[in-house]
Amino acid sequence: MGTTALVTGASSGLGVEFARELARRGADLVLVARRQDRLEQLAVQLAESYGTVSTVIPMDLTASDAVSELRADLAERGVRVATLVNNAGFGTFGRLDGIAEQRVHDEVSLNVLALTELTRAFWPELVAHARTSPGNGALVNISSTAAYQPIPFMAVYGATKAYVRSFTEALWWEAKGTGLKVTALAPGATDTEFRQVAANDPVMVGPHQDAATAVATAFRALDARSTPPSVVSGALNAVGARGVGFVPRRSLLTVLGRSIAPS
Ligand SMILES: NC(=O)c1ccc[n+]([C@@H]2O[C@H](COP(=O)([O-])OP(=O)(O)OC[C@H]3O[C@@H](n4cnc5c(N)ncnc54)[C@H](OP(=O)(O)O)[C@@H]3O)[C@@H](O)[C@H]2O)c1
């Protein structure tokens, strides 16, 4: 309430739902993604529904100076961020040698590098805000159930999401005593544009959720008296994520590799 939240990947899917819920709770927004028209439409909707002031920043977060430019742009506008939702991300389905090198570079740049640099760049102001207004600001990084086991034919994506989970859980500890809530949300298969972007059918296994349901899981975690370092969306997904740790790696990879092999 009365603070500003920065949401990356706010032009589609989970990012739109994060922005909507944050606006409903009274936050102003910074909306970042490449598709400016989508961001502007969302800004208008949020203003009409909740009186939200949105700053629209169209940008490709894989560009080399993207994060420092974003940081400088917001500083110049006098916008201070209390909540950061690192949501922008994508996956690619296929054998590693069938994926263009540039796409592999962009996937790691967006899912890992931009997320890390954004967290580092905004961490001081997230913590400063949390110290004066404990519990009223958060860092939410979007991981995935893909973080809980390697995924053949989506090897890069699974590895990037394992990074996000590990990175965020470590920061959960570092934030202790500051009042900043930190969590990694791990959605399972969710109906967004993700599948279209990844060009994958077989990997979207398991129960499908809608984006609003997955985002509600993150807010339940943030609203809890003690926010967990990470949270899996959906009871079955949570059981699966915990369960895979007990399955011998070789067997797990054999089942996964056979069930999601490209045709
Ligand atoms: N859907 C699922 O099944 C699922 C499951 C687990 C985790 N996730 C994770 O959830 C997050 C959100 O994905 P989603 O499912 O909502 O997919 P989505 O509908 O495809 O949304 C992805 C968002 O990321 C933005 N984006 C992509 N490349 C970008 C770039 N280079 N620079 C800036 N923004 C960029 C897109 O906006 P523009 O194209 O306009 O730039 C879009 O707003 C991702 O991190 C994804 O890995 C999704």
Ligand 1 center to 180 CA (angstroms): 25
Closest C-alpha to ligand 1, atom 36: 9
Run of H or E including 231: strand 230-232
Q: Would you write out the chain's pLDDT as a tens digit for each of its 263 residues? A: 789 999 999 999 999 999 999 999 999 999 999 999 999 999 999 999 999 999 999 999 999 999 999 999 999 999 999 999 999 999 999 999 999 999 999 999 999 999 999 999 999 999 999 999 988 999 999 999 999 999 999 999 999 999 999 999 999 999 999 999 999 999 999 999 998 899 765 555 667 899 999 999 999 999 999 999 999 999 999 999 999 999 999 999 999 999 888 87
pLDDT of residue 238: 96
Q: Look up 157 and say whether it is catalytic.
A: yes
Sheet holding 83-86, edge to edge: 54-58, 28-33, 4-8, 83-86, 138-142, 181-186, 230-232
pLDDT of residue 239: 96
pLDDT of residue 208: 87
- The contacts found for 253-256 with CB under 8 angstroms, 24 or more apart, are 253/150, 253/152, 256/149, 256/150, 256/151, 256/152
Cβ 253 vs Cβ 152: under 8 Å: yes
Run of H or E including 84: strand 83-86
Structure tokens, 81: 């961020």
Domain of 54 in residue numbering reads as 4-260
With vertex at residue 122, the alpha carbon angle to CA 67 and CA 210, rounded to the nearest 5 degrees, is 80
- What is the domain count for the chain? 1
- Rounded CA gap, 187 and 150, in Å? 16
CA R_g for the chain: 18
pLDDT of residue 260: 86
Structure tokens, 191: 């109906």
Closest C-alpha to ligand 1, atom 42: 9
Cβ 202 vs Cβ 97: under 8 Å: no
Which residues touch 247 (CB under 8 Å, ≥6 apart)?
none
- Rounded CA gap, 172 and 52, in Å? 29
Run of H or E including 209: strand 209-210
With vertex at residue 83, the alpha carbon angle to CA 74 and CA 146, rounded to the nearest 5 degrees, is 115
The set of protein residues with a Cβ atom below 6 angstroms from ligand 1 is 8-9, 11-15, 33-35, 60-62, 87-91, 110, 142, 144, 187, 189-190, 192-194, 197
- Rounded CA gap, 21 and 14, in Å? 11
CATH code of the domain in which 18 resides: 3.40.50.720
Structure tokens, 6: 């920065």
